[in-house]
């Protein structure tokens, strides 16, 4: 499988976390962590940035549910490219658990792009 595009997308997120002057993807300390219901609402909204922010602040339980929601919604779209890209994000998260939220945020943003097509 070719993971090039998905890896490039995730790399963009990772880089944005470390370069001064780029919009910060780091969670705002004043933003409270929220539950899966709010994640679903944010993902369904016209502005998925809230869903991405929720991913970055998610507790372990919410992150696990968010992965399930992302995978579930992606499977309904029946698009092999999206599934391949999300699978890449999921595998990267499994290999680097300390950065799981970043990979979840990237997967969420990818899904959001497909949902508005």
pLDDT in tens, 55-77: 888 888 888 888 988 988 888 88
Q: How far apart are CA 91 and CA 62, in angstroms?
A: 18
Per-residue pLDDT of the chain (117 residues; tens, 9 = 90+): 445 555 555 555 555 555 444 444 444 444 455 678 888 888 887 667 888 888 888 888 888 888 988 988 888 888 888 888 888 898 999 998 888 999 999 999 888 888 876
Q: Which two tokens stand for residue 36?
A: 């899966």
- Within 10 Å of residue 50's Cβ, how many Cβ atoms? 16
76-79, long-range: CB within 8 Å, 24+ apart, which pairs?
77/114, 77/115, 79/114
Measured in whole angstroms, the distance separating CA 17 from the mean position of its chain's CA atoms is 14
What's the whole-model pTM score?
Answer: 0.70
| pLDDT score at 38 | 82
Domain boundaries, the chain: 4-115
Q: CA-CA distances (angstroms) from residue 27 to 17, 61, 74, 91, 115?
A: 10, 17, 25, 23, 24
């Amino acid at each position: 499988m070719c993971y090039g595009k998905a890896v490039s997308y995730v790399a963009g997120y990772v880089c944005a976390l470390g370069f001064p002057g780029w919009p910060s993807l780091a969670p705002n300390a004043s933003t409270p962590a929220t539950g899966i219901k709010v994640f679903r609402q944010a993902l369904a909204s016209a502005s998925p940035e809230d869903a991405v922010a929720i991913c970055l602040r998610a507790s372990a339980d919410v992150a696990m549910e968010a992965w399930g929601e992302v995978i579930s919604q992606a499977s309904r779209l029946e698009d092999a490219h999206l599934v391949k890209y999300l699978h890449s994000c999921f595998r990267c998260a499994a290999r680097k658990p300390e950065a799981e939220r970043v990979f979840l945020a990237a997967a969420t943003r990818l899904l959001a792009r497909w949902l508005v097509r």
